[in-house]
């Protein structure tokens, strides 16, 4: 949510990442130390062949009397070196190709991308088999084979990331300024891809490890007398029935190595994911803070002393009380971060679950919105319209099935009935070819049409309250007028109560009976539509909001910028009868915060 002030992305240490790094460090230490001390035990041929475990040979000996445990430990060095070399070749070549392609002329780029795409689709094991066969059997040909086979996938991924970055403005600017190609790569592309590339590298390390050992396993990789984990498993698995322990150690070693690389990859991904690391607070609950007299028991909607807090206890909405009477349109105005959307979504019960909600009362008619309610009742009583019709429709489903979802699920209507009613509703708001629209997908319709269809669909259940959260913000000015007209018609003809949220005081002024101005999670001022129209506002913040609204009639007025810091926001022009005056301090807020 935009409302939450988030600290700059911090590196988060997760359990997995720590475990992965510890395991990998152990493997690296083994790779360094084991060959120093154990080479003789691992490679000297002795007459004690194929023995079981004993005090000298904890895991027994192989066919040539060599210590199985020592061999497994010594093999770590070659395995890690091969895997690291393979990963390095694949990553460096992949990044080079993937970024260079974006500096190439368009035609060459298209051709290279096609080739890469074709190569990615090809089974890479077969490809590396062929390369290994051409290069001959052996350690370094296996390294080359696997790395060459891994290059296309890595190049593809890099090219994709580079594609999105090279379309950004700063890259275009750099190009226009004549910055050289290599410089663009090192200065602009690579730094911006560093994090995902690091994660990818860890993943490639894990897959490479397995691919290399597979090649050794089928006899095309490391050859005698050298040995890596794959080679040991090749020998060990043959003897699995007579000498099961021979395969155990290399299996464990290879699994630990692969797992640690994966955990590091996962951990890096999680550590840099801005969405991660949330905590969860409580759900809705009733607060015991005394009721403010602002709320009205007669009203259709009554919200008394609503607070919304983050899991860390930071209050976002600080004691908001409002009421909406039947047939009334209430506007909630304020800039982004003022808490207006959070207030509306609390009433709708659709806040992100980690936010804690409490209030003395929050009800719609006799529905207690602080409790879990019958889904049917909620769905049919509250109609919801969101800000951006481009994202609030499901891109994968047809319009018709989305618009009739509530009728079919909650009103038990058949598909035919629900569609028929919806088509009629669409025709009523003069949407052309409603039958065809119902069968289309959201991306085929304009934003304005989608928004009007969404509004129309909220009406088929005859809701008691419509909550519209910035319904015109994402639309063109001309379309905005259509949508506002539609809301006004609904209110006039059907008498549905509305809570209308906007940052645009002009839009609210045109539509609402009552206007509530919010900032910093608090209500600053309550006005009637007439007062607002007449400019009878008291709070300097509201005045500034009004002045900042460009109006054609007042073109000459100088443009005002609004900054909440300019005003004493604790001074609230909320003429609450409880205090009997204009100015109250944020008493309830402080109490709630405790």
Partner 1 sequence: MTEPTMLSKEVQILESTAPGATKRPRGGALSLSPWADYAFRRAGGVLLSVVLLVVVTFFMVPLIPGDPAVAVAGADATTEQIEAIRNSLGLNDPLYVQFISYVGGLFTGDLGESFAYSTSVSQIIATKLPFTAELAVLGIILVLLVSVPAGMLVGILTRGGRKKWLDVSFGMLTGFFQAVPQYVVSTMLVVVFAIILKVLPAAGAASLSALILPVIGLSIAPICSIARVVRRETSTVLEQDYLRTARGWRLPSVRLYARHALPNLLTTALTLAGLILAGMLGGAIIVENVFNWPGLGREIVTAIVNKDYPVIQGIILVLGFLAIVLNLLVDVILGLIDPRTLGGKSNG
Cα distances (Å, whole numbers) of residue 469 to 365, 376, 383, 404, 522: 21, 22, 11, 21, 18
Q: Does 444 bind partner 1 (CB under 8 A)?
A: yes
**Residue 230 is a binding residue for partner 1 (CB under 8 A):** yes
State which of residues 187, 441, 485, 543 lies at the interface with partner 1 (CB under 8 A): 441
Q: Return the structure tokens found at 54.
A: 């004993």
Q: Which of 384, 468, 483, 516 binds partner 1 (CB under 8 A)?
A: 384
Contact assessment for residue 119 and residue 141, using Cβ atoms and an 8 Å cutoff: no
- 4 lies in the binding site for partner 1 (CB under 8 A): no
User: Would you report the helix, strand and coil content of the chain in percent, each value rounded to 5?
Assistant: 55, 10, 35
- Cβ-based neighbour number of residue 268 at 10 Å: 23
Applying CB under 8 A, which of residues 240, 314, 494, 560 lies at the interface with partner 1? 240
Strands 465-469 and 497-502: parallel
**Taking a C-beta distance cutoff of 8 angstroms, is the pair 204, 151 a contact?**
no
Q: How far apart are CA 378 and CA 117, in angstroms?
A: 49
Which positions from 197 through 216 interact with partner 1, judged by CB under 8 A? 199-200, 203-204, 206-207, 210, 213-214
- Separation between Cα atoms, residue 203 and residue 198, nearest integer Å: 9
Task: Give the residue, chosen from 102, 386, 500, 567, that forms a contact with partner 1 under the rule CB under 8 A.
Answer: 386
Touching partner 1, residues 139-178 (CB under 8 A): 153, 156-157, 159-161, 163-165
DSSP 531-542: HHHTT---SHHH
Binding partner 1 by CB under 8 A: which of 84, 179, 190, 350?
Answer: 350
136 binds partner 1 (CB under 8 A): yes
Does position 16 bind partner 1 by CB under 8 A?
A: yes
271 binds partner 1 (CB under 8 A): no
What is the rounded distance in angstroms from the CA atom of residue 163 to the CA atom of residue 172?
12
Which stretch, 387-395, 482-490, 511-519, 541-549, contacts partner 1 (CB under 8 A)? 387-395
* Total residue count of the chain as it appears in this document: 594
Q: Which of 286, 378, 427, 578 binds partner 1 (CB under 8 A)?
A: 378
Residues 296-335 that bind partner 1 (CB under 8 A): none
Query: Using the rule CB under 8 A, which residue among 191, 290, 375, 412 binds partner 1?
Result: 375
547 is an interface residue for partner 1 by CB under 8 A:
no
208 vs 480, beta carbon nearer partner 1: 208
| Per-residue mark of binding to partner 1, 400-439 (x: CB under 8 A) | --x--xx--xx-----------------------------
**How far from the centroid of its chain's Cα atoms is residue 458's Cα?**
28
What tokens does 411 get? 């009103």
Compare residues 393 and 567 and give the one whose CB is closer to partner 1: 393
Binding mask 90-129 for partner 1 (x = CB under 8 A): -----------------------xxx-xx-xxxxxxx--x
The kind and range of the H/E element at 359 are: strand 356-359
Contacts (Cβ under 8 Å, ≥6 apart) of 401: none
Cβ count within 10 A of residue 132: 23
């Amino acid at each position: 949510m935009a409302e939450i002030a988030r600290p700059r992305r911090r590196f988060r240490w997760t359990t997995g990442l720590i475990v992965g790094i510890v395991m990998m460090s152990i493997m690296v230490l083994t790779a360094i130390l084991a060959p120093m001390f154990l080479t003789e035990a691992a490679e000297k041929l002795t007459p004690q062949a194929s023995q079981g475990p004993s005090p000298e040979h904890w895991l027994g000996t192989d066919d040539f009397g060599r210590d199985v445990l020592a061999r497994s430990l010594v093999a770590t060095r070659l395995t890690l070196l091969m895997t690291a070399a393979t990963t390095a070749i694949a990553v460096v070549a992949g990044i080079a190709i993937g970024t260079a392609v974006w500096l190439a002329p368009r035609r060459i780029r298209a051709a290279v991308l096609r080739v890469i795409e074709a190569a990615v689709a090809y089974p890479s094991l077969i490809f590396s088999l062929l390369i290994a066969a051409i290069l001959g059997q052996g350690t370094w040909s296996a390294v080359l084979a696997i790395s060459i086979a891994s290059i296309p996938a890595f190049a593809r991924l890099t090219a994709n990331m580079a594609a999105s970055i090279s379309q950004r403005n700063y890259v275009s600017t750099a190009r226009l300024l004549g910055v050289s190609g290599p410089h663009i790569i090192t200065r602009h592309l690579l730094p911006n891809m560093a994090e995902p590339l690091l994660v990818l590298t860890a993943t490639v390390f894990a897959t490479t490890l397995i691919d290399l050992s597979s090649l050794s396993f089928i006899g095309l990789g490391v050859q005698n007398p050298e040995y890596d984990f794959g080679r040991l498993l090749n020998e060990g698995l043959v003897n699995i029935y007579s000498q099961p322990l021979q395969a155990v150690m290399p299996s464990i070693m290879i699994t630990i190595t692969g797992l640690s690389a994966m955990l590091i990859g996962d951990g890096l991904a999680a550590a840099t994911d801005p969405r991660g690391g949330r905590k969860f607070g409580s759900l809705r609950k009733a607060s015991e803070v005394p009721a403010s007299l602002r709320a009205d028991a007669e009203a259709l909607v009554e919200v008394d002393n609503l607070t919304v807090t983050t899991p860390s206890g930071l209050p976002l909405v600080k004691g908001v009380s409002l009421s909406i009477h039947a047939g009334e349109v209430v506007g909630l105005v304020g800039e982004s971060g003022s808490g207006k959307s959070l207030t509306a979504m609390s009433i709708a019960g659709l806040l992100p679950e980690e936010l804690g909600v409490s209030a003395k009362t929050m009800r719609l008619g006799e529905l207690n919105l602080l409790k879990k309610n019958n889904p049917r009742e909620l769905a049919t009583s509250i109609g919801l319209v969101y800000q951006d019709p481009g994202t609030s429709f499901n891109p994968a489903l047809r319009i018709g099935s989305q618009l009739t979802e509530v009728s079919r699920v909650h009103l038990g209507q058949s598909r035919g009935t629900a569609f028929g009613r919806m088509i009629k509703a669409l025709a009523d708001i003069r949407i052309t070819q409603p039958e065809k629209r119902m069968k289309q997908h959201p991306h085929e319709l304009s934003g304005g049409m989608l928004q009007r269809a969404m509004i129309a669909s909220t009406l088929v259940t005859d809701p008691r309250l419509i909550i519209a959260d910035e319904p015109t913000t994402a639309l063109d000015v001309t379309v905005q007028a259509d949508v506002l007209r539609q809301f006004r018609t609904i209110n006039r003809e059907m008498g549905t109560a509305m809570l209308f949220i906007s940052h645009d005081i002009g839009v609210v002024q045109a539509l609402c009976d009552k206007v509530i101005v919010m900032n910093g999670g608090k209500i600053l001022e309550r006005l009637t539509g007439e007062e607002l129209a007449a400019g009878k506002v008291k709070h300097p913040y509201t005045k500034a909001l009004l002045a900042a609204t460009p109006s054609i009639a007042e073109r000459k007025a100088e443009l005002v910028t609004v900054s909440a810091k300019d005003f004493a926001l604790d001074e609230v022009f909320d003429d609450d009868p409880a205090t009997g005056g204009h100015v109250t301090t944020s008493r309830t807020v402080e109490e709630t915060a405790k």
